[in-house]
Chain A
């Protein structure tokens, strides 16, 4: 698994990258929920260490200049930050398209209106399940479904375009049809059917979350039918999860090619799980400009493009389509971040990945392990 990736690196230094399209601004790791599939790191950053408002304003200025088109305010729960409206207004003033990724917990109508007034372009609301008990269990919280239903109504009353984000797994995948109906009922223009991705906290709960192949096949058929039935009324985003796929996905649209992610303390990451890769040392917004980090910092150049690829990736005709898939997954499952993504059927570890999924999905679901003291 240890290909000599230093050789091609020396032979051809990577070309300057295109301008990034999107900035994921993780304002905080604090969150009122404790979802067992949380993709945030095992160790969360503390509130006292979070970037302040002025630093975020400077980042937004730099991002717009660098060519970023959209900023996604995320977390944790970004509503916890009292300066959220100020940051949205600043981003809108820079010409950035602003997106809020929220659990909707603790939203009020006044806050929803203030977000819209600040210039928010779009909100993405998560929903854990259409069943009230399930929603509480999958969010590690109380009255989740009722609170989210109310939040959806508030966002719509503030005239904000809405996407419903449904993270799906073995426990709720059989409620997919109800989830689609709920998206329509909430007045969402878009539904993201997002299968759990197994990194961060989610990897710990993988066996409790892994769906069966039969569940996936039913879900795919339901989405295909709903897309036809609701064409022009509801957009449904859906991809088959990696453990049951035969080719990897272009994670983040290619490492260091389309997105940058800034974590609550100001580290600049190629993807929000990149801190799981121990060999990477991240620059922060305190030390360097965003442009310098995007173009030259080693975590971005390490896996940008194709120079780092081992075989069979290096000679694969799809290498500039999937850009080698997911580095964090390669590390988590093979111990080597530069290995072929096991989601690819050409990976020597692919069969093992598929077997793991099948075995875990067929066994009774173990109890969830919840984050304790999830909010710092």
Chain B
């Protein structure tokens, strides 16, 4: 087994055992993962809600660029950084 390599054609989804939910007590979205919890900001929640294991990072960023009227390169750089971090910490799989 070797490291998973992320690129713009990757199709991320939540890793096994990871669940996204809205927490009423804290009024925010979060990821419940094996013995860890990750609080999500609004952007991370928007991005992760679209990750179904089929949509590629390319397509996801193209959609976000249109919706938020921002350059795709800039969005994509941020999104790749987020996914790289989440992948390394085991919150998503590709």
Contacts and interface: CB of A to CB of B under 8 A. Distances in A.
Interface of A: 19, 21, 66-67, 69-70, 72, 95, 97, 99, 121-122, 124, 161, 163, 184, 189-190, 228-235
B34 A234 contact: no
A69 B38 CA distance: 11
Contacts of A66: 25
Nearest to B94: A232
Contacts of A230: 1-3
A59 B23 CA distance: 19
B25 to A, nearest CB: 3
A231 B87 contact: yes
10 contacts: A19-B26, A161-B17, A161-B34, A189-B17, A229-B2, A230-B1, A232-B88, A232-B90, A232-B94, A235-B89
B25 A19 contact: yes
Interface string B65-94: 000000000000000000000011110011
Contact of B34 (A19, A95, A163, A232): A163
Contacts of B5: 232
B25 A67 contact: yes
Nearest to A190: B34
B87 A232 contact: yes
Given A69-B30, A163-B34, A231-B3, 16 more contacts: A21-B37, A69-B32, A70-B37, A97-B19, A99-B34, A99-B35, A124-B34, A161-B16, A189-B16, A189-B90, A232-B5, A232-B6, A232-B93, A233-B1, A234-B90, A235-B89
Contact of A229 (B3, B30, B35): B3
Contacts of A21: 37
A190 B90 contact: yes
Chain B contact surface mostly: loop
A66 B1 CA distance: 41
Most buried by B among A21, A69, A121, A231: A231
A69 B30 CA distance: 10
B89 A124 contact: no
Nearest to A188: B34
Contact of B19 (A19, A121, A163, A184): A121
Contacts of B94: 232
B8 interface: no
Interface string B43-85: 0000000000000000000000000000000000000000000
Nearest to B89: A235
A233 B3 contact: yes
A121 B25 CA distance: 21
A125 B78 CA distance: 36
A121 B32 contact: yes
A60 to B, nearest CB: 15
Contacts of B19: 97, 121
A357 B5 CA distance: 41
Contacts of B34: 99, 121-122, 124, 161, 163, 189-190
Given A19-B25, A231-B4, A124 B35 contact: yes
A228 B87 CA distance: 12
